[in-house]
Amino acid sequence: MENVLLYLLVFTLKVAAIITLALGGTTFMIWVERKGAARIQNRSGPLYVGPWGLFQPIADGIKLFLKEDIFPTCADKVLFFIAPLICFAPSLMTFAVIPVGPHVQIADINIGIIYILAISSLGIFGIVMGGWSSNNKYSLLGGLRSAAQMISYEITLGLSVVGVVVFAGSLSLNDIVMAQAGSWFLGIPKWFVIPQILGFALFLVSMFAETNRLPFDLPEAEHELVGGYFTEYSSIQWGLFMMGEYVAMISISCVMVTLFLGGWLPLPWIGPLVEGLLPAGFVLYVMPVVWFLSKVAFFMFLFVWVRWTIPRLRYDQLMALGWKVLIPLALLNVIIAGVLKTFQIV
């Protein structure tokens, strides 16, 4: 009995830790985004709430909670209410299988990567339902665009993962990380980004499309669609849509790092150098998380960097890029991975 209780306690703590990491990261990311935007576009950004405006996202959150929920008169009330929840929940659920460190993972299931693809394909329901239930033409157009866009880029995303699965020979995220241990020569790490550079590039592009971020934020293109699918939303329901986007960014960056950049493994030459100076327990339990988070932080910065420097694509350009360029390249990448693996070239 005590064992069951202990197990439950450890499990709950793990879940709490990882959710805190995700939501805390979200709050921090909103600040980073606004500061980054300010720096890149020569503006001010948050300054007054807390040191360097650090508490601004918290103040915004409180404001959103206290505002009135407004339901449009002709909206479908039930769907309008649950749409933001459906949008938010799947992006949080992907964290369940991501190995943040060798001992920090909520569940190691043997089909981890398929679980992630399956769960992240559900967030789109929230967007589509929100767009339709608002009973507003701009919302509906935003919802339709997002449905078309996310289905198109999901294919590329799925196919670019195939290469990694071929190399690792497993669908479990833990096995994929462990398959990237070691180095080739000159201290170049055995990360899958090197044999799978094309897959990496494809994943990177479709990752922006899947999270509805610029240059692919057509579902919420404010010049054409007011606010897109969340035009009619206000207060914390709008907040859930926005937080869902940030949580999705963090989770897909974590997947990216796990698949292509060796997860929680350090660089082969920096790792021993730094870890030699630290106590053993620290190296075993804390350092992997530090390596993992620093790689994730790079991609989070990339999201901000790209958003404020690259303009939005036109809708037909987006579809042409997805179907005529990325999907053929993704198929080519599967063939490359197969050839490299079969003839043992790398």
Choices 128-136, 247-255, 308-316, 325-333; region in contact with other proteins by CB under 8 A: 128-136
Q: What do you get for the CA distance between the two ends of the chain, in Å?
A: 50
Q: What is the DSSP letter of 325?
A: I
Q: Is 114 in the site for other proteins (CB under 8 A)?
A: yes
Q: What is the DSSP letter of 183?
A: B
Q: Is 151 in the site for other proteins (CB under 8 A)?
A: yes
**Cβ distance to other proteins smaller for residue 60 or 232:** 232
CA distance 190 to 260: 10
Choices 43-51, 149-157, 221-229, 237-245; region in contact with other proteins by CB under 8 A: 149-157
Q: Is 109 in the site for other proteins (CB under 8 A)?
A: yes
Nearest to 257 by CA among 98, 22, 28: 98
Q: Is 106 in the site for other proteins (CB under 8 A)?
A: no
Q: Which residue has the tokens 């197990």?
A: 7
What SS3 state is found at 189? Answer: strand
Q: Which residue has the tokens 């303009």?
A: 311
**Cβ distance to other proteins smaller for residue 23 or 114:** 114
Q: Is 93 in the site for other proteins (CB under 8 A)?
A: no
Q: Is 79 in the site for other proteins (CB under 8 A)?
A: yes
Q: How far is CA 79 from the centre of its chain?
A: 25
Choices 44-52, 127-135, 237-245, 337-345; region in contact with other proteins by CB under 8 A: 127-135
Choices 108-116, 248-256, 272-280, 310-318; region in contact with other proteins by CB under 8 A: 108-116
Minimum distance of other proteins from residue 128's CB (angstroms):
6
Phi and psi (nearest 5°) for 73?
Answer: -60, -45
CA distance 300 to 288: 18
Phi and psi (nearest 5°) for 146?
Answer: -65, -40
Q: Is 171 in the site for other proteins (CB under 8 A)?
A: yes
**Where would I find the H helices in 233-314?**
235-260, 270-275, 280-285, 287-307
- Give the binding-site size for other proteins (rule: CB under 8 A): 26
**Cβ distance to other proteins smaller for residue 172 or 333:** 172
Give residues in contact with other proteins (CB under 8 A).
76, 79, 109-111, 114-115, 117-119, 121-122, 124-125, 128-129, 132, 140, 143-144, 147-148, 150-151, 154, 171
